[in-house]
Amino acid sequence: MEGLTIRTGQVWRSNETGEDWVVTRTYSEMFSTYAVLRRAGDATWDADLLRVKLEESGGGLTLPGFTLIGAV
């Protein structure tokens, strides 16, 4: 996906488990950008969170191991 921007509220599906995850924030550390994901439908504050390092792909960023399926 060229020129893809990772944004808060996007829903991504795990290629491994098929579970849906929502991007709750993105941030940069040194030379890398990360996304924090929360399992979709899990409204509790102590829900499972994932921290995923974004990869550059064709001029944009992507979440390795995930497929974009929509936005909340």
Instruction: For residues 64-71, give the mean pLDDT.
Output: 88
- pLDDT of residue 3 exceeding 60, the answer is no
Give residue 61's pLDDT: 86
Q: What is the DSSP string of the chain?
A: -TT----TTEEEEETTT--EEEEEEEEEETTEEEEEEEETT--STT--EEEEE-EEETTEEE-TTEEEEEE-
Top mean pLDDT of 1-5, 20-24, 37-41 is at 20-24
Q: How many CA atoms lie within 13 A of 13 on its CB side?
A: 6
The one-letter amino acid at 55: E
Enumerate the β-bridge partners of residue 9: none
